[in-house]
């Protein structure tokens, strides 16, 4: 879809010689821009789910293949596998998982926090810009609610948005209690309003709270320490969730894990299970670059769907407008939206601005893709993008790289670029799964005993997420799901725990003439050479 | 029951049942009460709760008694894994069951008829109560006074849902009022049942079949079966494409049940074994695929038809996990009266759970084998025998699976 762009050196000369630009009126309406250029709308990438609780739902083909697949394990594999027990099992240890585990543990539950890699290995640490919460005197919960619902094109569940916005200030308070640091307004003497706030794309008030440009990392630091200090949380790192366990009535009863360190299966049985497994970027749907971490392979969606959960807005992904497009080995690495919020502009190969940089992410991303498809992009070593004009920003705010954009500066220098002298080549990068597992305001899914929190859950952001709402979501819904999981875990005993749901699932696949030998979840991207499916088969063969 | 009467499927209103030909068997019984038991005998009707005991002998034994009260318990306690026929009959087509019970009342001179039903399925009791109310107010029910001193007391009794409550003497204890503790037999229920009165206990499916045997006549009824009289409700579940309840000619071969009626093995996986209802019998394996599923043929193969439940196991499903699940079911179902049963089933369940959860120890299999050798015959009822039988069979036939589970 990318036409040949303007050669990099020529584009640089045009950029250097351009006139001070005014905001550009977009010649297309938002709908035309999104419909014509946003990756969600590429027809070849979409299909419709044929089996499961959300049969009929539109879905990217690459994801549908995994959702409508057979499990990696079968009943006989778990015979003789060790079993650990907990009240609450939390799968995934990014922010949402850690917050859920902490919340459950503090209500007296025995918690197992299991995750694919290590605690904090996830997208949380990559959230640079900040976290939204309506704490300002000039802001309100209602405005946060309105901005979020409108930003998501009114597709979100208002009840979930209400929970998100309503719990926002309490979530910030809670994070401070966990020891997280926030940027302060140094020159403000008003003791009740000392948090630095920034107005960002799609919002009507200065609402973004931050810590430098590594807010997520700071948040994860505080959460990780809290988890390590919470004695009721048993940690199972490098445990790869392969399948949910269910009981005779279809209630979720824990999960089957592959223990990467010991090369064996283990079962965790729990009265309630919280999936906090994050997103799907590393599926590289439509061959997209991604800002996501290595483990973001939609495992939670796959497990929940096979367990009987409903999904929503699966065809809606957020492409962050400013992923690094050059050099190739850093393709997709994120450059925070804060750069644009602070005033940096986007410039195409003809030296022109082409969009209001403070539009919502989907609009900015679609506008960049329009430039690329029209041949107004910039080509460098076969990579395509547009310029993020950091040198002009540094001219206007000389200390900005050292004070607010530390990570951007570091990333640019890793790319061999001095961002105060040369604009960065950027292009949209698959950043966030807007949809996910359908949940209620406490994170309950349609499957009894199964809850979801964080990016894996859907319905909070509608069809587009506002900057800063992802970090807030992890805390708000992590706390809600953690508390709800404790109540759920105490709702009665489990009988005949196993993989009973797979029989009916396989019948559905057969009746829909879908292949049983397609297996999921994917767990790791193929270039990682961590073939869990192969290892599970080896284990099975060794026991024949 | 479709083979017996297409209209018997999903009929919950008494007028619909009568309009579809129901009630004729009861009319026949009322017009010739002494002719009922010979007809049931000629039809070859046997007990469908698992034992396969000839129905007419139980009926005759109660009919012969002289007593001011006689009871009939329609046994719908059905609770065992993999069996789901009685709950279907009671909730979806209760009138053929009630009519069968009233026929038995006419034949035996019963004063009380109790529909003893498991309440686990939320629809069962309300629908049964509604069906009973329809009968009580109907002229056909009042007409029973022509052959009985008065129409029997007809009522619904929700069971405890406990497995032992399905045992004959356990059911008697429950209907008498108390915990369903089974007791030794004799005295047999026909002599000493509810409140000491002669009592007939029949399975729900048996009573439904009695209605059709009398309606169709013995000869017609017998001819419906293949290797034995009548039809059978097979509860088919496990690793097959189409699980469900199948009413088929008695003696339908296992392979035909699985392949033709069950749609074949799920995903084409190889066949491994069948736990028969339930599940308290010797496992059927690939060598038994052609066996006719009737009481005598399965007995000749060293197993039992039981309730007609067929839990099919394919490659990929663990015999150890299934057995552990069923033994845990029996251990939880043990009423605790007989120490060998109480301790033995719990010990077996504990060892199996340990093996299943990767904590099996050397000597565990020998301990299980020792248990299955000493336990049979040690209980008042058959619970411990069934548990020992299925465990012994699974150990003998699939010992390698146990060894593998301990090995990992």
SS (H, E, C) chain B: CCCCCHHHCCCCCHHHHHHCCCCHHHHHHHHCHHHHHHHHHHHCCECCCCCCCEHHHHHHHHHCCCCCCCEEEEEECCCCCCCCCHHHHHHHCHHHHHHHHHHHHHHHCCCEEEEEECCCCCCHHHHHHHHHHHHHCCHHHHHHHHCCCCCCEEEEEECCCCHHHHCHHHHHHHHHHCCCCCCCCCCCCCCCCHHHCCEEEEEHHHHHHHHHHHHHCHHHHHHCCCCCCCEEEEEEEECECCCEEEEEECCCEHHHHHHHHCCCEHHHCCEEEEEECCCCCCCEEHHHCCCECCHHHHHHCCCCCCCCEEEEEECCCCHHHHHHHHHHHHHHHCCCCCHHHHHHHHHHHHHHHHHHCCCCCCCHHHHHHHHHHHCCCCCCCCHHHHHHHHHHHHHHHCHHHHHHHHHC
Do B321 and A503 lie within an 8 Å CB cutoff? Answer: no
Strand-pairing partners, residue B273, are B285, B313
Q: Which CATH class is domain A6-37+317-394+421-430?
A: alpha beta
> What is the CA angle A519-A520-A526, rounded to 5?
100
Which DSSP symbol is given to A205? S
CB contact under 8 A, B408 and A498: no
Instruction: Check if A500 contacts B (Cβ < 8 Å).
Output: no
- A76 lies within 8 A of chain B by CB: yes
| Cis preceding-peptide flag for A521 (omega within 30 of 0) | yes
Q: Give chain B's domains with CATH numbers.
A: 6-47+57-223 (3.40.50.11540), 231-268+276-309 (3.10.20.600), 319-407 (1.20.1440.230)
B231-238/B309-314 β-pairing: parallel
pLDDT in tens, B116-146: 999 999 999 999 999 999 999 999 999 999 9
CB contact residues (below 8 A), chain A span 247-276, against chain B: 264, 267
Residues in chain A: 544
Instruction: Using alpha carbons, select from B290, B105, B278, B335 the residue that is nearest to residue B202.
Output: B105
Angstrom distance (rounded) from CA A481 to CA A276: 10
pLDDT tens per residue, chain A (544 residues)? 456 799 999 999 999 987 666 666 666 788 888 888 998 888 767 899 999 999 999 999 999 999 999 999 999 999 999 999 999 999 999 999 999 999 999 999 999 999 999 999 999 999 888 999 999 989 999 999 999 999 999 999 999 999 999 999 999 999 999 999 999 886 555 555 589 999 988 899 999 999 988 999 999 999 999 999 999 999 999 999 999 999 999 999 999 999 999 999 999 999 999 999 999 999 999 888 999 999 999 999 999 999 999 999 999 999 999 999 999 999 999 898 889 989 999 999 999 999 999 888 889 999 999 999 999 999 999 999 999 999 999 999 999 999 889 989 999 999 999 999 999 999 999 999 999 999 999 999 999 999 999 999 999 999 999 989 999 999 999 999 999 999 999 988 888 899 999 999 999 999 999 999 999 999 999 988 889 999 999 999 987 7
- Using CA atoms, how far residue B208 sits from B93, B103, B112, B189, B365, in Å, is 9, 10, 18, 21, 43
Pairing of strands A58-60, A457-458: unpaired
Our CA dihedral for B104, B110, B113, B114, rounded to 10 degrees, sits at -100
Point out the residues of A that are catalytic.
361
Whether A80 and B360 lie within 8 Å, measured CB to CB = yes
**Beta carbons of A536 and A342 less than 8 angstroms apart:** no
Cross-chain CB nearest to B406 (options A74, A80, A516): A80
Q: What is the pLDDT of residues B300-349, one digit of tens each?
A: 999 999 999 999 999 999 999 999 999 999 999 999 999 999 999 999 99
Confidence of residue B407 (pLDDT cuts 50, 70, 90): confident
Give dist(CA A454, CA A465) in Å, integer. 13
Interface A-B, measured as beta-carbon pairs within 8 A, has a size of 61
User: In which region does residue B196 sit, left (phi positive, over 0), alpha (psi from -120 to 50) or beta (all else)?
Assistant: left
- Cis ω before B187 (30° cut-off from 0): yes
Are the CB atoms for A242 and A251 separated by under 8 Å? no
The closest CB to that of A498, out of B321, B360, B401, belongs to B321
pLDDT at A286: 84
Q: Which of B257, B215, B250 is nearest to B96 (CA)?
A: B215
- Tell whether omega for the bond before B125 is within 30 degrees of 0, i.e. cis: no
Please compute, for residue B159, the number of CA atoms within 13 A of its CA located in the half-sphere on the CB side. 30
List the A436-438 sheet strands across, edge first: A311-312, A436-438, A457-458
Cis (ω within 30 of 0) for the bond into B380?
A: no
Pair A253, A246: CB distance under 8 Å = yes
In chain B, which residue's Cα lies nearest the Cα of A83?
A: B357
State how far the Cα of B230 lies from the Cα of B251, in Å rounded to an integer. Answer: 9
Q: What is the pLDDT of residue A2?
A: 55
Element at A302 (helix H, strand E): helix A299-307
> Is-same-fold flag (A6-37+317-394+421-430; A113-235+277-288+434-515)?
no
Cβ–Cβ below 8 Å for A76 and B266 = no
Nearest to A209 by CA among A472, A390, A475, A401: A472
Q: Of B243, B321, B361, B365, which to mutate for an interface test with A (greatest number of A Cβ within 10 Å)?
A: B321
- What's the CA dihedral at A104, A295, A362, A365 to 10 degrees? 150
Residues of A in contact with B364 (CB under 8 A): none
A426 forms beta bridges with A324, A386
Model pLDDT for residues B206-229, shown as the tens digit of each residue: 999 999 999 999 999 999 999 999
For residues B323 and B351, what is the distance between their CA atoms, to the nearest angstrom?
11
Using CB atoms and an 8 Å cut-off, which of residues 362-401 of chain B contact chain A?
401
User: Which residues in chain A touch residue B406, judged by CB atoms under 8 angstroms apart?
Assistant: 80
Rounded to whole angstroms, the Cα distance separating B15 from A143 reads 63
Tokens (6 digits) for A404: 């607010």
Domain A113-235+277-288+434-515 is found in CATH 3.50.50.60:
yes
Write down the number of H helices and E strands in chain B: 18, 9
CB atoms within 10 A of CB B143: 14
* Domain edges within chain A: 6-37+317-394+421-430, 113-235+277-288+434-515
CA distance A254 to chain B (A): 14
Mean pLDDT in chain B? 95
Tell me which residue has tokens 């629809």. Answer: B123
Question: By C-alpha distance, which of B135, B45, B146 is closest to B99?
Answer: B135
d(CA A494, CA A487): 15
């Amino acid at each position: 879809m990318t036409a040949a762009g303007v050669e990099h050196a020529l584009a640089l000369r045009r950029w250097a010689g351009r006139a001070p630009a005014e905001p550009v009126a977009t010649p297309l309406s938002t709908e035309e821009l999104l419909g014509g250029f946003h990756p969600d709308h590429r027809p070849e990438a979409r299909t419709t789910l044929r089996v499961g609780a959300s049969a009929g739902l539109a879905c990217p083909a690459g994801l549908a293949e995994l959702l409508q697949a057979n499990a990696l394990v079968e009943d006989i594999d778990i015979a003789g596998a060790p079993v650990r027990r907990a009240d609450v099992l939390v799968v995934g240890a990014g922010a949402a998982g850690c917050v859920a585990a902490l919340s459950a543990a503090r209500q007296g539950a025995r918690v197992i926090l299991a995750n694919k890699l290590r605690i904090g290995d996830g997208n949380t640490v990559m959230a640079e810009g900040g976290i939204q919460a309506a704490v300002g005197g000039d802001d309100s919960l209602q405005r946060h609610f309105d901005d979020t619902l409108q930003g998501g094109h009114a597709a979100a569940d208002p009840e979930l948005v209400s929970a998100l916005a309503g719990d926002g200030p309490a979530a910030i308070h809670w994070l401070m209690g966990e020891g997280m640091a926030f940027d302060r307004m140094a020159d403000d003497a008003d003791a009740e309003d000392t948090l630095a706030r920034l107005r960002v794309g799609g919002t009507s008030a200065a609402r973004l709270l931050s810590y430098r440009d590594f807010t997520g990392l700071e948040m994860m630091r505080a959460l990780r320490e809290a988890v390590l200090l919470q004695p009721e949380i048993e940690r199972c790192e490098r445990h790869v969730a392969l399948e949910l366990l269910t009981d005779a009535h279809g209630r979720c009863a824990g999960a089957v894990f592959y223990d990467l360190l010991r090369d064996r299966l283990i079962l965790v049985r729990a009265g309630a299970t919280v999936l906090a497994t994050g997103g799907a970027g590393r599926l590289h749907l439509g061959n997209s670059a991604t800002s996501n971490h290595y483990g973001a392979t939609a495992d939670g969606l796959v497990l929940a769907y096979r367990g009987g959960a409903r999904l929503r807005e699966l065809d809606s992904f957020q492409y962050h407008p400013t992923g690094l497009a050059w050099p190739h080995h850093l393709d997709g690495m994120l450059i925070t939206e804060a750069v644009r919020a602070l005033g940096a502009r986007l410039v195409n190969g003809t030296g022109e601005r082409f969009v209001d940089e403070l539009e919502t992410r989907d609009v900015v991303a679609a506008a960049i893709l329009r430039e690329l498809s029209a041949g107004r992009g910039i080509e460098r070593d076969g990579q395509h993008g547009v310029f993020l004009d950091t040198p002009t920003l540094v001219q206007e705010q000389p200390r900005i790289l050292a004070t607010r954009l530390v990570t951007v500066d570091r990333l640019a220098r890793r790319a061999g670029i001095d961002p105060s002298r040369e604009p960065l080549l950027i292009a949209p990068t698959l950043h966030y799964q807007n949809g996910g597992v359908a949940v209620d305001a406490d994170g309950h899914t349609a499957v009894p005993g199964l809850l979801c929190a964080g990016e894996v859950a859907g319905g909070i952001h509608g069809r587009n997420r506002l900057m800063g709402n992802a970090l807030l979501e992890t805390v708000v819904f992590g706390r809600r799901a953690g508390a709800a999981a404790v109540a759920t875990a105490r709702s009665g005993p489990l009988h005949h725990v196993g993989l009973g749901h797979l029989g009916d699932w396989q019948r559905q696949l057969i009746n829909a003439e879908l292949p049983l030998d397609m297996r999921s979840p994917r767990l790791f991207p193929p270039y990682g050479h961590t073939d869990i499916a192969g290892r599970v088969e080896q284990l099975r063969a060794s026991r024949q | 029951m479709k083979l017996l009467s297409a209209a018997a499927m999903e009929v919950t209103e008494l007028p619909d049942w009568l309009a579809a030909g129901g009630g004729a068997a009861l009319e026949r019984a009322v017009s010739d009460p002494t002719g009922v038991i010979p007809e049931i005998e000629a039809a070859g009707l046997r007990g469908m709760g698992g034992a396969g005991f000839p129905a007419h002998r139980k009926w005759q034994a109660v009919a012969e008694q002289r007593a001011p009260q006689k009871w009939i318990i329609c046994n719908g306690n059905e609770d065992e894994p993999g069996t789901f026929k009685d709950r279907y009959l009671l909730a979806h087509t209760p009138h053929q069951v009630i009519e069968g019970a009233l026929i038995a009342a006419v034949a035996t001179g019963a004063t009380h008829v109790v529909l003893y039903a498991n309440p686990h399925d939320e629809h069962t009791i309300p629908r049964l109560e509604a069906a009973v109310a329809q009968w009580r107010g109907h002229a056909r029910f009042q007409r029973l006074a022509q052959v009985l001193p008065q129409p029997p007391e007809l009522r619904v009794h929700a069971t405890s849902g406990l497995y032992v409550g399905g045992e004959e003497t356990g059911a008697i204890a429950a209907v008498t009022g108390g915990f369903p503790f089974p007791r030794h037999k004799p005295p047999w229920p026909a002599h000493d049942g509810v409140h000491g009165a002669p009592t007939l206990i029949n399975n729900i499916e048996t009573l439904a079949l009695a209605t059709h045997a009398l309606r169709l006549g013995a000869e017609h009824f017998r001819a419906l079966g293949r290797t034995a009289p009548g039809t059978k409700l097979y509860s088919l579940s496990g690793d097959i494409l189409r699980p469900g309840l199948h009413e088929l000619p008695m003696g339908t071969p296992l392979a035909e049940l699985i392949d033709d009626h069950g749609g074949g093995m799920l995903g084409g996986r190889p066949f491994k074994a069948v736990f028969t209802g339930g599940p308290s019998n010797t496992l059927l394996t690939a060598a038994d695929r052609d066996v006719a599923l009737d009481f005598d043929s399965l007995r000749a193969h060293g197993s039992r038809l039981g309730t007609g439940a067929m839990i099919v196991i394919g490659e990929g499903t663990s015999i150890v996990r299934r057995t552990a699940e069923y033994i845990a079911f029996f251990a939880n179902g043990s009423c605790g009266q007989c120490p060998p049963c109480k301790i033995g089933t719990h010990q077996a369940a504990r060892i199996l759970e340990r093996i299943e959860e990767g904590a099996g120890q050397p000597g565990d299999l020998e301990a299980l084998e020792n248990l299955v050798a000493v336990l049979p015959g040690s209980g008042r009822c058959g619970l411990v025998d069934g548990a020992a039988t299925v465990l012994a069979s699974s150990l003998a036939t699939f010992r390698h699976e146990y060894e593998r589970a301990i090995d990992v």
